Amino acid sequence: MALIKCPDCGKDISSNAPNCPNCGRPMAAFSGKAVQTQRKGGKYEAAGFVLIVVGIVVCFVSSVVGGLLIFVGFATFIAGRFM
């Protein structure tokens, strides 16, 4: 068991503690996962990426439709990035 400093209040706390006993701040190891799943832009990023991949495949059949799909996918991906 190691002692780490709370980034909020600077008090030494146990690295095993789920949150700071002094100020109640949740520790990084426990809050990191929650922050990642709460990012709402992530699914737009994923949807945009899928559209780009589908667009590349469709390009072999029709470059106009494929190009449009890549364009829309890219726009969705960028929009998700900045959410």
> Could you say whether residue 22 binds Zn ion (CB under 5 A)?
yes
C-alpha–C-alpha distance, residues 33 and 14, integer Å: 20
The reply to whether 6 sits near Zn ion by the rule CB under 5 A is yes
DSSP state of 27: P
Centroid of chain to Cα 43 = 9
Does residue 23 touch Zn ion according to CB under 5 A? yes
Residue 8 binds Zn ion (CB under 5 A): yes
**Of the candidates 25, 47, 52, 67, which one interacts with Zn ion according to CB under 5 A?**
25
Site residues, Zn ion (CB under 5 A) = 6, 8-9, 20, 22-23, 25
